[in-house]
Structure 1
């Protein structure tokens, strides 16, 4: 979440690679909303929807543990392809949690979604931010990105986004300087070592990750680096000699993965990082299916890495 103007507000900004009409319809069509709304592992059932000022959206969110959450959204403003204002988190027997304002705008075929959640007090905003982070609620907007990617290009991808309290140049360095990269990228419980690192367009790295019982080797080949906004590289698992192999715990995992990292300033001391991860090259249907089913695990893995990155940044600022 980026810094909001007022202390009782929470702000989220996302950019989707699709025209505003496609993003608007993904938001407002119940059949499409059912494909992505909610944290990973959640599904929803819409009971009724009346998209107009004074209208409502009544739905049940089904948690992965079987718990049902009844919700009734009340709409105050509806400007097609431009603006939504509504109350969220309430029902007939409880008041809403906060007021939401969502702005949609298109530029060069891409749509920016600016969302502001307004709460009764700064304390309520802080508690809600903690709750959303713990519940994985920000994954909702990553799921929307994956849905948009699928409907617009037919590709299966994985998205994860996180905002960090540091300038964009600091975040870029964390991804491109091996001494930084190796300290946070490995999943929780693993350490990482670069055996060869040449991070530049056309360059490559060879590295290992270990938790003391399992050691995995991999290589990355860098295709594009645009300082300080974008990095694109491919990754493959390898053996100890650097020969391409398969994931040691998932032999049906795609052989080659493409990673795109976007860095966006959200203020003088805050940066949004968006990771887009997808299989590339020759990919078999069964490998795509394994990739799709692993999104929950990918979220946990990247979240653990991002937690370490957040701690490293905080430690360097002390």
Structure 2
């Protein structure tokens, strides 16, 4: 999620599959911002917005616990489709938390968002970094990707990003070598056994997962694209012990077939960002689509637990 150029800065870079005008509008239109701004489970109410140097955006963020958080964003620079500079996190009773500079650039129909948050000190940067992680604030930029995808395709998807302190080839191996996959991919509390693993285009894998409560799950994965070390595309379905298509025992209206696209981006020689995009494919009923959208917070929690395990394995070498 975060790379640094200075000790008192946090930096976030994302590439969105949308033209810069669409990304800019998603940022600056209050109606669109209400669809994605903030961690999962949060909503916002805009009271006023004056998008110009010296103007402000006054809004209230509503937490899932019912707590309201008044916010005032103070704009310093506004260059349409190119740049925003503003103070974030302030309100009538508190000063801003940090200065934000966001640069937007388009290439081949895709937009790079390069954001730098500047704090008063390295210690403040560490505190803000931990606060963002604890509050699930990283999901804000995943929600933006989901919103842009819905705007352009009309399809719902789930997106999650995570940066790891390891070279891209090492991270790619953690996703493709069976001895690594079973150590980190299963949800927290589950143990995974690969009954068959064919990591090749057209290859099919079959796995079993079980937890201490005795909940047993079987699943099938079919690989559609493998481009080392940049991209993995596969489908995933729940099945029974004989590999017949079935449904999750605790989610009977979950979509039958999911498409998972994983991209790997080198953020430096020793840093790799992983982006997971999950979406239902095939025949999807309205009830299944609604269940998928409703479960985004749960998917974030599940992937976060798996990513935490992957991060620990990479740190251990």
Q: 2:292 maps to which residue?
A: 291
CA distance in 2, matches of 1:11, 1:198: 37
1:304 is paired with a residue of what secondary structure?
helix
What is the number of equivalent residue pairs in this alignment? 316
Q: 1:116 maps to which residue?
A: 116
State the 1:179 CA deviation. 0.6
- 1:261-299 per-residue CA deviation (whole Å, 9 max, x = no partner) reads 010011110100000000001111110001010101101
Q: Is the 8 A contact 1:2 1:266 kept in 2?
A: no
2:166 is paired with a residue of what secondary structure?
coil
CA distance in 2, matches of 1:226, 1:266: 18
Q: 1:7 maps to which residue?
A: 7
State the 1:93 CA deviation. 2.0
State the 1:11 CA deviation. 0.4
Q: 1:162 maps to which residue?
A: 162
Structure 2 runs not aligned, ≥5 long: none
Structure 1 runs not aligned, ≥5 long: none
CA distance in 1, matches of 2:83, 2:216: 50
Q: Is the 8 A contact 1:98 1:119 kept in 2?
A: yes
Q: 1:102 maps to which residue?
A: 102
1:41 is paired with a residue of what secondary structure?
coil
Q: 1:216 maps to which residue?
A: 217
Q: 1:230 maps to which residue?
A: 231
CA distance in 2, matches of 1:220, 1:62: 39
Q: 1:55 maps to which residue?
A: 55
Within 5 A, what are the aligned runs for 1:185-196?
Answer: 185-196=185-196
**TM-score, length-scaled by structure 1:** 0.98
Within 5 A, what are the aligned runs for 1:1-318?
Answer: 1-212=1-212, 213-316=214-317
- 1:151-203 per-residue CA deviation (whole Å, 9 max, x = no partner) reads 10011000000001001001100001011011100000001110000101111
CA distance in 2, matches of 1:187, 1:29: 37
CA distance in 1, matches of 2:116, 2:291: 35
CA distance in 1, matches of 2:144, 2:257: 24
CA distance in 2, matches of 1:12, 1:144: 13
2:278 is paired with a residue of what secondary structure?
strand
CA distance in 2, matches of 1:3, 1:298: 25
CA distance in 1, matches of 2:187, 2:132: 22
**TM-score, length-scaled by structure 2:** 0.99
CA distance in 2, matches of 1:75, 1:42: 23
State the 1:3 CA deviation. 2.0
Q: Is the 8 A contact 1:187 1:305 kept in 2?
A: yes
Give the aligned CA root-mean-square deviation in angstroms. Answer: 0.6
